[in-house]
Amino acid sequence: MAPPTFMGLSGRPLSLAVSTVATTGFVLFGYDQGVMSGIIGAPAFNNLFVATRDNPSMQGFVTAIYEIGCLAGALTILIFGDLIGRRRAMIAGGLTMILGVLIQVTAQRQGSPLAQFIVGRVIMGVGNGFNTATIPTYQAECSKTSNRGLLICIEGGVIAFGTVVAYWVDYGCSFGSDDLVWRFPIAFQIIFALIVSIPMIFLPESPRWLLTHERYEDAERVIAALRGYESSGPETALERDIIVDSIRASGGIGQKSTPFKYLFTGGKTQHFRRMLLGASSQLMQQVGGCNAVIYYFPILFEKSIGQTKQMSLLLGGINMIVYAIFATTSWFIIERVGRRKLFLWGTVGQGLSMVITFACLIPDDPMAARGAAVGLFLYIASFGTSWLPLPWLYPAEINPIKTRAKANGFSTANNWLWNFLIVMVTPVMIANIGWGTYAFFAAVNACFLPVIWFFYPETARRSLEEIDIIFAHGFINKISYVKAARELPLLSPEQVEQYALRYGLIDTAAHAAQTTIADRHIDGKDVLDASGSEEKRIE
């Protein structure tokens, strides 16, 4: 019997289609991160949106208000993501972004153009909040253990490619008419949004989400299609059973949406700690200074280093090419090096780059200030290799299936909240304290190192269900979770079930407790297992 198909695809081609759509969502994210940098100070833009002219605070507000929309979108997924599912959230995200783009590019002088532009940026941000809170979870739940890290790192890495495209589109349009200068770069985002929304109508839902909602036949069909198995084959049944065990261990059977109280539980599952680990990575990504460089790179060169506007835009585009090149390096080392080492190396690189930057700006000499340009290039290389993709990967991995959508929504909301703050205050910091801006970010990066060293367990080459075992192992043996991850060997699917039984995460293994999963519920009632006792969840 042939595997089931979606869009006429199964196995590797179907997985590639899923990854392509997910990746495009993050290209769009990166594009919008970079697009405002080249137009926020353009005369054509400032002539229409007069309040932004020579006003760092208003420029910061117009750029950063997008993050408030993203925050609202991420919070929406935090509340409703478990109910609406991954597919519908991504479709809604793409369509919402298209609406926001149309509102922005139709702003006219005779109306209230700035207010309209701000509303459009907020709406577009809501759509991007949907996508960024959903796509990593969707990709993680559809991927194999062997390539999950690579695929999500590619997602994170292509943020840089989106930013590169935005910088060079801005640069090319800067030589055109007033409307072309800013309307075309913003309107160009519609292409990416359509690539996200339309294929998702036909692609499969996450099998883990389907099993959480007790749609067993649908989940088996998706697992078989993604892996190239037969729907009734033993490989499909084994993967299905491992996922069901994980859902049972977290208390998720029969619940359509995870109660918020589950996010704050400890014990063997450590939901609260795991949520904080994921959220802290997103927080540190933002306060490490990345958007001070990405959003305002041309302004930094123009104001701090004394370059002309055109030269600043050109150097900004070159810097983004460096960014994209180094972002691809994580694709090749993420599984070899692991998450912890890449976090640590990236932090050291970012901190030293900021030290070089502020040290070269202290003399207030144009020649010395050129050294600051080297520091900024080194920063973006370090960031692209490590802190760009990792905070999108780590929360999707570290959180268990039952709280993954809500915890990832909380992590993404953290990202956008701190993103807004940094984007808002950076122009003001540069205007008022100059090189002190970079000294501040250097000190902040130094604070990351002990947090990562003592609290971040390694998740490389682990299945999502295997990571549950790491936290149960650490809790029961009263050791740090970093040590638990280090001393626990890589486990096979059968061993994951054995450890889950040993640590009391489940009472019975799924494949031993049931003939077919669909038979667990008859007329809405739980079926007793072979011993005559009802299956229970151990807290």
Q: What secondary structure does DSSP assign to 259-324, as a single string? A: -GGGGG--TTTTHHHHHHHHHHHHHHHHHTTHHHHHTTHHHHHHHHS---HHHHHHHHHHHHHHHH
Give the position of tokens 């080459």.
461
19-63 tens-digit pLDDT: 999 999 999 988 987 788 778 888 899 999 999 888 877 887 888
How buried is residue 348: exposed, middle or buried, by Cβ count under 10 Å (0-12/13-18/19+)?
Answer: middle
% of residues, the chain, pLDDT over 70: 90
pLDDT tier for residue 105 given thresholds of 50, 70 and 90:
very high
Confirm if 394 and 69 have CB atoms less than 8 A apart.
no
Strands (E), 415-499: none
Specify the higher pLDDT residue, 419 or 307. Answer: 419
Q: Using DSSP, state whether 521 is helix, strand or coil.
A: strand
pLDDT of residue 415: 86
pLDDT tens by residue, 499-516: 988 988 876 655 544 433
Per-residue pLDDT tens digits for 306-321: 677 777 778 777 877 8
For the segment 362-375, the average pLDDT, to the nearest whole number, is 79
More confident residue, 393 or 281: 281
Higher model confidence: residue 358 or residue 535? Answer: 358
Q: What is the mean pLDDT of the chain?
A: 85
pLDDT score of 96:
97
pLDDT (average), residues 130-144:
89
**Pairs from 226-235 (Cβ < 8 Å, separation ≥ 24):** 226/10, 226/11, 226/14, 226/15, 226/18, 226/142, 227/3, 227/11, 227/144, 228/3, 228/10, 228/11, 228/12, 229/3, 230/1, 230/2, 230/3, 231/1, 231/3, 231/4, 232/1
pLDDT of 261 reads 85
Averaged over 119-135, what is the pLDDT?
Answer: 94
Q: Domain 20-207+261-455 is classified in which CATH homologous superfamily?
A: MFS general substrate transporter like domains (1.20.1250.20)
467-474 mean pLDDT: 94
CA distance 252 to 249: 8
Q: Radius of gyration (Cα) for the chain, nearest Å? A: 24
The pLDDT value recorded for residue 299 is 66
Listed by start position, the domains of the chain span 20-207+261-455, 462-507
Question: Any idea which of 315-324, 386-395, 477-486 has the lowest mean pLDDT?
Answer: 315-324
Segment (H or E) for 104: helix 56-105
For residue 481, the SS3 value is helix
On whether the CB atoms of residues 205 and 405 are closer than 8 A, the answer is: no
Closest CA to 263 of 408, 452, 471: 408
pTM: 0.77
The H or E element spanning position 200 is helix 189-200
521 C-beta neighbours (distance < 10 Å), count: 14
**pLDDT tens for residues 331-341?**
888 888 989 99
> DSSP states of 208-220 as a string?
HHHHHTT-HHHHH
Residue 453 in this model has a pLDDT that exceeds 90: yes
CA angle 496, 500, 506 (to 5 degrees): 135
Q: From residue 214, how far is each of 217, 377, 524, 539 by CA, in Å?
A: 9, 50, 11, 21
pLDDT computed for residue 296 by the predictor: 63
Q: Is the pLDDT of residue 216 over 50?
A: yes
Which pLDDT score is estimated for 510?
A: 55
The answer on pLDDT for 342 being more than 70 is: yes
